[in-house]
Structure 1
Amino acid sequence: MKKVLYYTFGLNSGGVENYSINLYKNIDRNELDVDIVTFYQREEFFDKELAEAGGRKLPLVQPQTYPRWKERFLAMKNLYALAKTGKYDVAYFNLGWPVSILKYPLICRLAGMKKIIIHSHNGGGLNIGLTQKILLHFGRKAAHLIATEKFACSDKAAEWMFGTTKGVHDIKNGIEVERFRYKDSVRRKMREELSIAKDTLVLGAIARFHKQKNHAFMLSMFEKLLRIRPDACLLMVGEGTLRQEMEALAEKLQIADKVLFLGERKDTERLLQAMDVLVMPSLLEGLPIVGIEAQTAGLNCLVADTVSQELDITGNVTFLPLEEEAWVEVLAKHEDYERHDMSQKIRDAGYDSRHTAALVQKIIKKAVGEG
Structure 2
Amino acid sequence: MMTLNKKILFVIGNVRVSNGVTSVIMNHYGKLLKAGYQVDFCALYNWGSPYIKTILENGGNYYVLPQENRKDEVEVCGIRVEEERSGAPDKKRAYSFMEKVIKQGNYGIVHIHIIGRYALMASQIAKKYSVPIRILHSHNPVHIHNLHSLLFALYYNTQCVHNCNRYLACSSLAGKSMFGRRKFSIIRNTIDTNCVYYIEEDRTKLRKEFSISSDSFVYGTVCRQTYQKNPYFTIDVFEQIAKNKENAKFVWVGTGELETEIKQYVKEKNLDSKILFIGNREDMAGIYSMMDGFILPSRYEGLGIVFVEAQACGVPVYASDVVPKDIELTRLVHYISLKNTALEWAKTILSDHTNYGDRSQYKQMIIDAKYDRTNNNDLLEYYESIS
1:342 matched to 2:342: no
1:91 matched to 2:91: no
Instruction: Say whether the 8 Å CA contact 1:25–1:53 is kept in structure 2.
Output: no
Residue matched to 1:31: 36
2: CA distance, partners of 1:277 / 1:53: 37
Instruction: Say whether the 8 Å CA contact 2:197–2:313 is kept in structure 1.
Output: yes
* Per-residue deviation, 1:121: 0.9
* Per-residue deviation, 1:22: 2.3
RMSD, aligned α-carbons? 2.6
2: CA distance, partners of 1:230 / 1:134: 46
Instruction: Say whether the 8 Å CA contact 2:46–2:88 is kept in structure 1.
Output: no
Correspondent of 2:9 among 5, 11, 16:
5
Matches within 5 A, 1:22-171: 22-41=27-46, 43-51=48-56, 55-65=60-70, 71-85=90-104, 87-96=106-115, 101-125=119-143, 127-129=145-147, 132-164=149-181, 167-171=183-187
2: CA distance, partners of 1:43 / 1:155: 32
Residue matched to 2:333: 317
* Per-residue deviation, 1:62: 4.6
Counterpart residue identity of residue 204, structure 1: G
Are the structure 2 counterparts of residues 263 and 139 from structure 1 closer, same or farther at C-alpha, using a change threshold of 3 Å? closer
Are the structure 2 counterparts of residues 203 and 86 from structure 1 closer, same or farther at C-alpha, using a change threshold of 3 Å? closer
Q: Normalization by structure 1: what TM-score? A: 0.88
Residue identity (%): 26
2: CA distance, partners of 1:210 / 1:132: 15
1: CA distance, partners of 2:161 / 2:281: 39
* Per-residue deviation, 1:45: 5.0
Are the structure 2 counterparts of residues 254 and 124 from structure 1 closer, same or farther at C-alpha, using a change threshold of 3 Å? same
Instruction: Say whether the 8 Å CA contact 2:115–2:157 is kept in structure 1.
Output: no
* Per-residue deviation, 1:311: 1.5
1: CA distance, partners of 2:54 / 2:329: 28
Residue matched to 2:250: 234
Q: Which runs of 5+ in 2 are unaligned?
A: 72-86
* Per-residue deviation, 1:87: 2.1
Instruction: Say whether the 8 Å CA contact 1:152–1:158 is kept in structure 2.
Output: yes
Q: Normalization by structure 2: what TM-score? A: 0.84
Are the structure 2 counterparts of residues 224 and 268 from structure 1 closer, same or farther at C-alpha, using a change threshold of 3 Å? same
Matches within 5 A, 1:210-359: 210-322=226-338, 323=340, 324-335=342-353, 337-338=356-357, 339-355=359-375, 359=378
2: CA distance, partners of 1:155 / 1:3: 28
* Per-residue deviation, 1:186: 2.6
Are the structure 2 counterparts of residues 267 and 83 from structure 1 closer, same or farther at C-alpha, using a change threshold of 3 Å? same
2: CA distance, partners of 1:51 / 1:150: 28
2: CA distance, partners of 1:237 / 1:100: 27
Equivalent position SS for 1:260: strand
Counterpart residue identity of residue 9, structure 1: G
Are the structure 2 counterparts of residues 226 and 175 from structure 1 closer, same or farther at C-alpha, using a change threshold of 3 Å? same
Instruction: Say whether the 8 Å CA contact 1:96–1:121 is kept in structure 2.
Output: no
Instruction: Say whether the 8 Å CA contact 1:174–1:355 is kept in structure 2.
Output: no
1: CA distance, partners of 2:266 / 2:89: 37
* Per-residue deviation, 1:73: 4.1
Are the structure 2 counterparts of residues 14 and 225 from structure 1 closer, same or farther at C-alpha, using a change threshold of 3 Å? same
Residue matched to 2:380: 361
Equivalent position SS for 2:365: helix
Q: Which runs of 5+ in 1 are unaligned?
A: none
What is the total number of aligned residue pairs between the two structures? 363
2: CA distance, partners of 1:178 / 1:198: 25
1:189 matched to 2:205: yes
